[in-house]
Copies of this chain bind each other. A is one copy, B any other.
């Protein structure tokens, strides 16, 4: 496996923060720095800041660029991993076919790799977290949106143009609500944190009494408010949580039918509520999934937490290809 003796650099580029760090091949972070993205300053400024962050973490760890196997970059958007392009990214306005791998390659004479954040996270969890040693492994992130990544026969499967496992945009009800992507009834329109907050708002708008209103106060309802109200026994919140678990369950039923994986790990914001959701979700799988596919697969909570983006990006340059 190439680069096993060298260290791994990962950059988790987000819409508000950039997390750059160096890890060893056990997934232990040796040095990292979190800086503001300042996306409004435009792509050149952001890329400049990313490059500087690499030098900063190297310096802090007393390392040279030669100590690295490469630099992996995870981006929350549409990318072309073969061409090394960021095609577009919702939280990075103005980014349009940015040849980020070329730009980095001019600065650093090492292996540079690019993936979308969910695919990178799948690699991270596979190499260092909840998917260790599991050759057919799916990572599903349920947050404001829903994304996924598939490890197939021990390798990231990114598809013909890096857009495989866009699980959030698979249809679970073709009569469902309109999705940001233009389609209707995508998994993400039912099961994302955004969808949960929307369903809660609908109940409040209908005049139902619920603790969620109090918790949200004058601000926007968030998924967290629903779970908090649910913990306190609020009836509306508990109904919404049941629905949320049902929708996640249906998405998992589809993952089982398509990928027949050995393990699925749930990450993203909603995963922090996994203890509440787990039994409800497993009941849906038991009732609805193909039996042999369900039997062979465990659904677990992802383990890398807030560093999944960094470790996933770093893991991109540990792969044996």
Contacts and interface: CB of A to CB of B under 8 A. Distances in A.
Interface of A: 78, 87, 136, 152-153, 155, 157-167, 169-175, 181-185, 246-247, 250, 253-254, 257-262, 287-290, 292-293, 295-297
B170 A289 contact: no
B259 A184 contact: no
Contacts of A185: 173
The 6 tightest CB contacts between A and B, nearest first, are A159-B260, A164-B260, A170-B257, A160-B262, A183-B288, A170-B254
7 contacts: A153-B155, A153-B157, A164-B259, A166-B257, A166-B260, A174-B247, A254-B254
A107 B247 CA distance: 50
Given A152-B157, A183-B253, A257-B170, A163 B78 contact: no
Given A257-B169, A258-B258, A293 B136 contact: no
Contacts of A175: 173, 175
B289 A183 contact: yes
A298 to B, nearest CB: 11
A166 B290 contact: yes
